[in-house]
Chain A
């Protein structure tokens, strides 16, 4: 068997095993009167089909909030990282406060956000921004300041300006770090958007996102639909990460050591 086929077959086999264990748990372990606590995979898929219109609208709303917040986080964190990379003094002055924002739990920030910008998309985007922002700014800054000293000297010996040094040396050199931050942020953004939606979403107008859907299904004790919501949330996060991984591959594969060389 080729290595490639093996790599695909392995996770498929794990998946099959997990689903089998799931059914076994449902039918053989859990007492009949409590089986509603763990709906079978087919019941969950059925709930996905049944609520397809509602769930896809909710997913779209959550994706919109997540993307907006994530995009904002990328732009703002990059600008701030440029500022932070300027000197150690700037970093010392600002880091503790950046940490403070990151350390405040989302459900605590949510009501503040609602007061400021109102419930709904704006709040979800703002809260997603807050959660995605920190790993991006920390990693990008680290990348900008970790440039090879010899390359800095080389640029100096050719009389490069500070801007040339920044955009021709530091920024491209920081790309691998930036993508590390991006991967973490891409994992956090959809989760953040869902949690934000639970705490600061709104059913008015657009009908709310996946977090709101989870709250509703839970209150109605629609467990298969709740699991279906979890599944859709998971798929959304997966999609986010796949896009980032493709972008990262595109930017780094031909030169960075984290990718295998294909020419030998």
Chain B
């Protein structure tokens, strides 16, 4: 992939007040359409990295740029998916998906069309009028995903979105996520604890090390696209998972 990067971190350091340094010397660039997973032991600053990128907290030093501008200036291009579904319990599925557009003042007619489209993408069209408490954990997460997709973001930030789900649901959602990514071609940043998930989804995996949080290594995932459930059965996949796991274990061993 060539061309100017969509997302760039230049020597970024983050520290909350006088506390310990959470992230230090973070530098990397991401191309449009690239899918990058962040993996590492707890406390390595993965979530903080996403929050910096979302413009939810500023860098202490260095520069974060999305299309050459600070993230806070391009919030409309960014969508955040949290660990929890984070839905408004008093609103229907359709209304929840419409929240970002409502906050941005998108006209109602346009909103209705978008909501219908993204709910179809996550296969929840027939649940539009349901309330969150009527849905399963996996369905709630899909609503959360649909909501993020509603603004057709250029960058998707996903903070362990499927961590609380069972293995089967997680794998299904991974496949759906890739199918959606293939259609919309946003740049994805995906925080996870699951090596298999990271390998399945990503072009590249950034392994982070803690104290202070820094990029330990960068691993390319040369598996063919499109990736399907068959991908998980292949020997290449298992070799890559084993390789990333070895790196991750070496990081954890050197962690005090």
Task: Tell me the chain B residues, 40-87 only, with Cβ under 8 Å from chain A.
Answer: 54-56, 75-76, 78-80, 82, 84, 86
Contacts of B84 in A (CB 8 A): 150
A158 to B33, CA, bound (A): 21
- Tell me which of A153, A160, A175, A256 contacts B56 (CB under 8 A): A153
Q: Does A93 contact B (CB under 8 A)?
A: no
Q: Does A32 contact B (CB under 8 A)?
A: no
Task: Tell me the chain B residues, 162-204 only, with Cβ under 8 Å from chain A.
Answer: none
Contacts of B54 in A (CB 8 A): 157
Indicate with 1 or 0, residue by residue over A136-165, a CB within 8 angstroms of chain B CB atoms. 000000000000101101111111100010
Contacts of B99 in A (CB 8 A): 154, 158, 168
Q: Does A35 contact B (CB under 8 A)?
A: no
A136 to B112, CA, bound (A): 37
Interface size on A, residues (CB 8 A): 23
- Tell me which of B88, B103, B134 contacts A151 (CB under 8 A): B88
Q: Does B133 contact A (CB under 8 A)?
A: yes
Task: Tell me the chain B residues, 84-135 only, with Cβ under 8 Å from chain A.
Answer: 84, 86, 88-91, 99-100, 102-104, 131-134
Pair B82/A168 contact, Cβ less than 8 Å: no
Cβ of A21 to closest chain B Cβ, rounded Å: 44
Pair B133/A158 contact, Cβ less than 8 Å: no
Q: Does A261 contact B (CB under 8 A)?
A: yes
Pair B133/A156 contact, Cβ less than 8 Å: no
- Tell me which of B55, B80, B90, B134 contacts A154 (CB under 8 A): B80
- For the residues of A in contact with B, the DSSP-based class is helix
Cβ of B244 to closest chain A Cβ, rounded Å: 29
Q: Does A49 contact B (CB under 8 A)?
A: no
- Tell me which of A155, A157, A175, A263 contacts B134 (CB under 8 A): A263
Indicate with 1 or 0, residue by residue over A98-127, a CB within 8 angstroms of chain B CB atoms. 000000000000000000000000000000
Pair B75/A159 contact, Cβ less than 8 Å: yes
- A263 closest partner in B (C-beta): B134
Pair A256/B89 contact, Cβ less than 8 Å: yes
Please judge, given known A-B contacts A150-B84, A158-B104, A159-B103, whether A255 and B75 are in contact too, CB under 8 Å: no
Cβ of B111 to closest chain A Cβ, rounded Å: 14
A155 to B82, CA, bound (A): 12
Interface size on B, residues (CB 8 A): 24
Pair B103/A255 contact, Cβ less than 8 Å: no
Pair B80/A255 contact, Cβ less than 8 Å: no
Contacts of B89 in A (CB 8 A): 255-256
Contacts of B78 in A (CB 8 A): 157
Indicate with 1 or 0, residue by residue over B129-146, a CB within 8 angstroms of chain A CB atoms. 001111000000000000
Cβ of B222 to closest chain A Cβ, rounded Å: 33
Q: Does A230 contact B (CB under 8 A)?
A: no
Interface centre among A173, A255, A257 (most CB of B within 10 A): A255
A160 to B80, CA, bound (A): 14
Cβ of A149 to closest chain B Cβ, rounded Å: 10
Please judge, given known A-B contacts A150-B82, A261-B134, whether A164 and B56 are in contact too, CB under 8 Å: no
Please judge, given known A-B contacts A158-B100, A261-B134, whether A153 and B82 are in contact too, CB under 8 Å: yes
- Tell me which of A157, A158, A172, A254 contacts B131 (CB under 8 A): A254
Pair A148/B86 contact, Cβ less than 8 Å: yes
Pair A172/B88 contact, Cβ less than 8 Å: yes
- B85 closest partner in A (C-beta): A150
- A159 closest partner in B (C-beta): B75
- Tell me which of B56, B90, B104 contacts A255 (CB under 8 A): B90
Q: Does A169 contact B (CB under 8 A)?
A: yes
Interface centre among B56, B89, B102 (most CB of A within 10 A): B89
A contact set with B: CB distance below 8 Å: 148, 150-151, 153-160, 164, 168-169, 172-173, 175, 254-257, 261, 263
- Sampled A-B contacts (7; CB under 8 Å): A151-B86, A154-B80, A157-B54, A158-B99, A159-B75, A168-B102, A263-B134
List of 3 A-B pairs having minimum Cβ-Cβ separation, nearest first: A157-B80, A150-B86, A159-B75
B contact set with A: CB distance below 8 Å: 54-56, 75-76, 78-80, 82, 84, 86, 88-91, 99-100, 102-104, 131-134
With A173-B88, A256-B90 known, 9 other A-B pairs at CB within 8 A are: A151-B86, A157-B80, A158-B104, A168-B99, A169-B88, A254-B131, A255-B90, A255-B133, A263-B134
